[in-house]
Amino acid sequence: MQRVAGPLYRLARVFPQIGDGNLCIRATFREGDYLVPEADLVNQMTAQLQTKINMLKHAQVMLALDTARFKELAIMKNDPALTALAKQMEQNLAGLKASLDTFKTYSG
């Protein structure tokens, strides 16, 4: 009984943390516990999600740099339409960053 109840308890403690955005957490079981293949699948899923979120965070940083360059160009050209577009891009990127920052993808 404990070889099933213990793993279920551990998984039940991991799921809310993953749901809160902690992608560094991994399910760990004791030797002899059941449900090890299921825990491995959860860990693989979390690791893949962590990798994808890290890639999105990197893309967001690169877009922020491009947006800053675009804004500088709009100011140099003194084009109000481009300046407004740059401002909208900054706002959109700030929303994206806020969403991505809800995920913890590194330990520490």
Q: In 7-72, at which residue ranges do the beta strands (DSSP E only) sit?
A: none
Q: Which H or E run contains 11?
A: helix 2-19
What would the pLDDT profile of 68-103 be if each residue is shown by its tens digit?
999 999 999 999 999 999 999 999 999 999 999 999
CB 32 within 8 A of CB 61: no
What would the pLDDT profile of 16-41 be if each residue is shown by its tens digit?
999 999 999 999 999 999 999 999 99
Q: CA–CA separation, 42 vs 14, rounded Å?
A: 9
